[in-house]
Amino acid sequence: MIEGYESPWRRVDPSQNEFARLDEAQREAWLLRRLNILVAHARAKAEYYKDLPAEPLTSTDQIRGLPILENPMYRKHTPPNGTQLVAIPNSSGLALASGGTTGEPRSCYRTAEEQHVIATRLAWGLDAAGIKPGDVVANLMPPGNLWVPFISYLGALEHLEVRVLPIGRAYSAEAALKWMNRYQVNVLLGYPAEIVRVVLEAPQGSTFPKIRLIATSGTPVYEGPRRLMEQAFGGPRFVSAGYASNDTGPMGYQCEHCNTGTFHLQDDLQILEILDVDSHEPIAKGVNGKMIFTQLLLRVVPVIRYAIGDIGKWVNEDHCPCGRRSPRFELSGRTDDMLVGEALQLLPETLDKALHGVAGIGPDWQLQVTSENSLDCVTLRVETLPDIAPHTVDVDLLRCNLLTCCPDMVSDLEEQRLGKVEAKVYPYGALPRSPRTGKITLFLDERRR
C-alpha cells in the first residue's frame, strides 16, 4: 500500500495457494462445490448448456456424464460464428480474440475479476518456473490487436517483485537489445520465434545480454532455435511460461523438476480428464489420450469438458520431488501439429532435425502437402538467414536430410505410395506468418479432399 492511496497490488507467493494445502477429501469437496456452481450457471445462462442436469453432482467423477465440447463446436457457438456458449452477453471487462493463425480470429471475453485471477495463477507458475524477486524481465509477448498474452503476462509479472520491460514485438532487434542491455535484463519472456528474430536481425557486432532464464510460450522450443538462443544469450535455462489458451486460461505450469512438455495442473482452476480417443473412457497413467478441460473460473463463456485439441498423458508418479500436490501431465502434441495421411505421419521434432547441418538457413520451416494423381506430394519450405541468397543454399542436402530423418518416406517413394518429395528455399522473412502472433503454420495441408 502507498500511504493515502488504495491499491490491490500484492506479491504473489505460493503460500497464498490455499487449495494446495488441502488433503484429498478436502480437495474433492472444494472442486465439487465449484463444479456444481459452474454447471448451474452455465445451464441457466448459456443456450448451449440448457440440457445439463438440474440436480447437483455428488462427485467429480460424475462429470463424465456431461457432454464433451469439441473444438469445432466451440468455434461454431462463440462469436463471430454464434453466441450459444455466451452466458453473460455484453459483460464488462475485456474483449479479446484468438490468434487467427488458421482462420478468422475467435472472440473471447473475460471480466476484470477473471483476468486478475488468471494473472495471479500465471504468476504462481512463473514463480515455480524460476522467476524471482529482483529479476529484470523483458516481456516480448505480442501486444495489441485484442491479443491476450502480453497483458496477461504483464499482469502476472506485476505480482512478482521484478522489474519489467514491456517491449512487446513491435520493435527492431537493435532497439530491443538496446533496452535489454541498458536495464541489464536477465530473463526473457516471449514466443520462441520472436526471440529468435531478435538474434537473427541484430546488427553485426551487437552485444547480447547474459540471460539466465528464457520463459517461452505459444510453441515448443525445437533444437535449432534453442541452439541460436543459447549461443546468443550465454547458455540460459529454458522453461515454459505456462500452458494456457485464450479459451481456458492457464492449464499448467512448470517447476524445476519438469522436463520439456511436462506440467503441473493448475488444479484450482481446471479439472483435467485424459481419455481414450475412441471410447472416451479414462486411461491409465503413462498412456497418451485426449485432453479434456473443465475451467472452474470463467463465467462469461463457460468451458465444460472442452476437447482443446491436445494429446497427453498423466506422469506415472505419486508425487513430484518439488513437493507440490498438483498432479503432473506430459503434453505429447497437438492433433493439428501432426500431419497424417496414407503415407505420412510427421511430427514437428522430425522436421526440425532435417534443417541441421545445412548452411545458410534459419530455424523456421513449413511443410506443404499437396495432391497429384491421388498421391501426396511433400515440400519442405525453409528461409535463409538474413543477407543470404537462396540460390547459395544446398537444397539437395536439405532434401537428403529430410529423407534421412523420415526413412518411411524413402520406402513410400519407392513403392509409389508418395508422389514426390521436394525442398525449397525462400529469402529471410518470406514464409507467411500470422500478422497477430508472428507464428508460421507448420503444416500447410493443401491436399484435394
Would residue 292 count as lying in a domain?
yes
pLDDT reading at 246 higher than 60? yes
In the structure, what pLDDT confidence band is assigned to residue 341 with cuts at 50, 70 and 90?
very low
103 in the same domain as 31: yes
pLDDT reading at 339 higher than 60? no
- The predicted model gives 317-325 an average pLDDT of 85
216 in the same domain as 185: yes
| First-to-final CA distance of the chain | 62
Q: Above pLDDT 90, what percent of the chain? A: 57
Amino acid identity, position 333: G
- The predicted model gives 336-352 an average pLDDT of 59
Res 342: pLDDT: 44
Res 300: pLDDT: 94
Res 340: pLDDT: 44
288 in the same domain as 207: no
Mean pLDDT rounded to a whole number for the chain: 88
pLDDT reading at 297 higher than 90? yes
124 in the same domain as 99: no
User: In which order are the strands placed within the sheet that holds 187-190?
Assistant: 163-165, 136-139, 187-190, 213-216, 237-240
Strand extents, DSSP E, 220-297:
237-240, 243-245, 249-253, 262-265, 270-275, 289-295
In the structure, what pLDDT confidence band is assigned to residue 406 with cuts at 50, 70 and 90?
confident
DSSP classification of residue 58:
S
In the structure, what pLDDT confidence band is assigned to residue 62 with cuts at 50, 70 and 90?
very high
Cα distances from 321 to residues 113, 264, 317, 318, 324, in angstroms, run 33, 12, 10, 10, 8
Count of residues in the chain = 449
Res 357: pLDDT: 87
Would residue 160 count as lying in a domain?
yes
Instruction: Tell me the CATH number at 236.
Output: 3.40.50.12780
Cβ proximity of 112 and 91 under 8 Å: no
Strand extents, DSSP E, 87-233:
94-97, 107-110, 136-139, 163-165, 187-190, 213-216
Q: How far apart are CA 221 and CA 214, in angstroms?
A: 10
Res 198: pLDDT: 94
123 in the same domain as 82: no
Last residue of a domain, one of 334, 362, 384: 334
Q: How far apart are CA 434 and CA 329, in angstroms?
A: 29
> In terms of residue numbers, what domain contains 19?
14-110+243-334
pLDDT reading at 4 higher than 60? yes
Amino acid identity, position 138: A
In the structure, what pLDDT confidence band is assigned to residue 343 with cuts at 50, 70 and 90?
very low
Last residue of a domain, one of 318, 334, 350: 334
- The predicted model gives 21-26 an average pLDDT of 86
Strand extents, DSSP E, 141-242:
163-165, 187-190, 213-216, 237-240
- The predicted model gives 221-240 an average pLDDT of 92
Instruction: Tell me the CATH number at 363.
Output: 3.30.300.30
Closest CA relative to residue 377, chosen from 418, 337, 340: 418
More confident residue, 253 or 418: 253
Cβ proximity of 234 and 185 under 8 Å: no
Number of structural domains in the chain: 3
Give per-residue pLDDT as tens, 347-390. 677 788 889 889 999 988 998 888 888 888 889 999 999 989 99
The pTM for the full model equals: 0.84
Would residue 3 count as lying in a domain?
no
Would residue 8 count as lying in a domain?
no
Would residue 201 count as lying in a domain?
yes
Would residue 204 count as lying in a domain?
yes
25 in the same domain as 141: no
253 in the same domain as 234: no
Show Cβ contacts of residue 110 under 8 Å, excluding neighbours closer than 6 positions: 93, 94, 96, 118, 298, 300
Would residue 55 count as lying in a domain?
yes
303 in the same domain as 231: no
350 in the same domain as 322: no
Question: In what helix (H) or strand (E) does residue 123 lie, and over which residues does it extend?
Answer: helix 112-129
Last residue of a domain, one of 334, 364, 381: 334
232 in the same domain as 131: yes
380 in the same domain as 393: yes
Would residue 7 count as lying in a domain?
no
- The predicted model gives 430-448 an average pLDDT of 77
Closest CA relative to residue 393, chosen from 367, 427, 365, 369: 427
Give per-residue pLDDT as tens, 79-98. 888 999 999 998 898 888 87
163 in the same domain as 307: no
- The predicted model gives 129-155 an average pLDDT of 91
Show Cβ contacts of residue 379 under 8 Å, excluding neighbours closer than 6 positions: 367, 368, 369, 370, 421, 422, 423, 424
